[in-house]
Amino acid sequence: MKKIEAIIKPFKLEEVKDALSQLGIEAMTVSEVKGFGRQKGHIEIYRGSEYTVDFLPKVKMELVLADGAVEGAIRAIIASATTGKIGDGKIFILDVDSAIRIRTGETGDNAV
Q: What pLDDT score does 29 carry?
A: 97
Q: What pLDDT score does 66 carry?
A: 93
Tell me: the pLDDT tens digits for 11-49? 999 999 999 999 999 999 999 999 877 766 666 677 777
Provide DSSP, the chain. -EEEEEEE-GGGHHHHHHHHHHTT----EEEEEEE-STT--EEEEETTEEEEE-SEEEEEEEEEE-GGGHHHHHHHHHHHH--SSTT-EEEEEEE----B-TTT--BGGGG-
**For the residues 90-95, what does the mean pLDDT come to?**
98
How far, in Å, CA of 105 to CA of 110, rounded?
10
